[in-house]
């Protein structure tokens, strides 16, 4: 479970807050990651994972707090999703690169939480805080989800 974002920029911390909440519920054996800063490093993280969940704040014009969910490889990520680095490589690029290179989990679920303010401020806006709680539950149900593979390996 990978949370992307910047905890100093308002709602951009949403992805980080979700993985922290998940880790609090599942304990230290949960495979949670905050970051990476470089989107290409996702490929290394995915390399030995069967199922991966990525959570990030997004801006797509919907109301703050709206939750997007994509299940790959069946679905396609919108190309502008999740730009975290100045290389200009987005999460969608990492997905495409991973697929081209055969470095892709069997199941990748991406949760996008529509952000409100992402300026230099502390804390989440109310709708996004509610969305973080909602997505935390969704991620936990992914963890206990379709596969019966035991957690904590």
Partner 1 sequence: MTERTIAVDYLARVEGEGALKVRVHDRKVEDVQLKIFEPPRFFEAFLRGRSYAEAPDITARICGICPVAYQMSSCHAMEQALGMTVGGPLRELRRLLYCGEWIESHALHIYLLHAPDFLGYPDAVHLAKDHPAAVKKGLELKKVGNHLMQVLGGREIHPVNVRVGGFYRCPSRNELEALRPELERALGLAEETVHFAAGLTFPEVEEDYEFVALHHEHEYAMNEGEVVSSKGLRIPVHEYEDHFEEVHMAHSNALQSVRKGGGSYLVGPLARYALNHDRLSPRAKSIAKEVGLASVERNPYRSILVRAVEVVYSVEEALRIIDAYRPPAAPFVEPPPSFHASTGASVTEAPRGMLYHRYRINSDGLIEEAKIVAPTSQNQKRIEDDLRHVVERGLDQDDATLADYCERAIRNHDPCISCATHFLTLDIERT
Site for partner 1 contains 43 (CB under 8 A) = yes
Site for partner 1 contains 148 (CB under 8 A) = no
Site for partner 1 contains 87 (CB under 8 A) = yes
Q: Which two tokens stand for residue 64?
A: 């703050």
Phi-psi region of 114 (alpha: psi -120 to 50; beta: other; left: phi over 0): beta
How far is the C-alpha of 145 from the C-alpha of 137, rounded, in Å? 12
Piece of 26-34, 52-60, 100-108, 136-144 that binds partner 1 (CB under 8 A): 100-108
> Given CA atoms 74, 81, 51, 105 in this order, what sign does their dihedral have?
positive
Residues that bind partner 1 (rule: CB under 8 A) add up to a total of 18
Selected binder of partner 1 within 27, 61, 74, 86 (CB under 8 A): 86
Residues sharing a CB contact under 8 Å with residue 42, sequence separation 6 or more, in sequence order: 2, 36, 54, 91, 94, 98
Going across the sheet that includes 51-58, the strands are: 33-34, 2-3, 51-58, 107-114, 67-72
Give me the least distance between CB of 133 and partner 1, in Å please. Answer: 30
Selected binder of partner 1 within 37, 48, 74, 122 (CB under 8 A): 37
Selected binder of partner 1 within 7, 34, 41, 134 (CB under 8 A): 41
Q: Using alpha carbons only, what angle is made at residue 86 by residues 136 and 56, rounded to the nearest 5 degrees? A: 10
Site for partner 1 contains 7 (CB under 8 A) = no
Looking at the Cβ atoms of 67 and 96, the one nearer to partner 1 is 96
Residues of the shown chain interacting with partner 1 in the complex, contacts defined by CB under 8 A: 36-38, 40-41, 43-44, 85-89, 93, 96-97, 100-102
């Amino acid at each position: 479970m990978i949370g992307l974002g910047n905890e100093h920029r308002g709602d951009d911390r949403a992805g980080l807050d979700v993985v922290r909440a998940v880790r609090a519920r599942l304990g230290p054996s949960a495979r949670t990651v905050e970051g990476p800063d470089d989107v290409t490093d996702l490929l290394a993280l995915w390399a030995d994972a069967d199922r991966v969940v990525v959570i990030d704040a997004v801006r797509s014009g919907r109301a703050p707090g709206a939750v997007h969910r994509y299940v790959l490889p069946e679905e396609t990520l919108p190309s502008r999703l999740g730009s975290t680095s100045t290389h200009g490589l987005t999460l969608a690029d990492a997905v495409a690169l991973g697929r081209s290179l055969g470095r892709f989990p069997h199941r990748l679920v991406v949760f996008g939480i529509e952000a409100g303010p992402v300026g230099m401020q502390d804390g989440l806006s109310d709708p996004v805080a509610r969305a973080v709680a909602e997505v935390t539950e969704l991620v936990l149900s992914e963890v206990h989800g379709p596969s019966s593979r035991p957690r904590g390996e």
